[in-house]
Chains A and B, each alone.
Chain A
């Protein structure tokens, strides 16, 4: 089956620093999605990418859909304490199931 490798597994940063995380896949996806999950809650959609090469921003977040359609990255600029959480990438090969990465646990020290 399809597998996503997400890295890094965890990050500990100081408030104000920039953050970058990425996902790579063994197969092609048509859609890449980035979600954030906080303890006891469901994943919240941050950014959706629909075309290879697409670069999309949402406030301090920027994500790109890789040209090969097998990878994506998420950048967070000028991190703040409320950015703490687990960030998941998810790929979608068709209009159905999502394949999730294992998550990046982000800790922001004030």
Chain B
């Protein structure tokens, strides 16, 4: 009965390095969502993926950020050439397959990225 798994829980990178954040959805869930949370703020949507498909990436910055959810393995959020402003908590959520109706999202514990 494992929930949404994220790793690492904490990640420290220097400016210019790459950050890779991983998310394994709950068993039986085929939809994955990534959100970013800055201190003292609510979560902001970044991207919505299904297996091998990006469904909605309207919340993703146009440069340096990419996401994938391969057929096998976890979803990956990749940030290239990190800058200090990328420091934040990144949360992954998953939901089960629905037939066009509401899809309740369950969140992982997050990855806290610190850029030095």
Q: Which residues from chain A sit less than 8 Å from chain B, CB to CB? A: 4, 6, 30-31, 33, 35, 40-45, 48, 50, 88, 90, 92, 95-103
Contacts and interface: CB of A to CB of B under 8 A. Distances in A.
Given A45-B106, A103-B41, 10 more contacts: A6-B42, A30-B102, A31-B102, A43-B91, A90-B43, A92-B103, A96-B56, A98-B45, A99-B45, A100-B44
A43 B41 contact: no
Contacts of B103: 92, 95-96
Nearest to B47: A97
A96 B104 CA distance: 9
A88 B42 contact: yes
Contacts of A33: 104-105
A42 B91 contact: yes
B29 to A, nearest CB: 13
B48 interface: yes
Contacts of A41: 109-110
Interface of B: 4, 6, 33, 35, 41-45, 48, 55-56, 58-59, 91, 93, 98, 100-110, 112
Contacts, number: 67
Contacts of A102: 41-42
Contact of B33 (A31, A97, A101): A97
A101 B102 contact: no
Given A96-B48, A96-B56, A97-B59, A43 B102 contact: no
Contacts of B110: 41-42
Contacts of A98: 33, 35, 43, 45, 93, 105
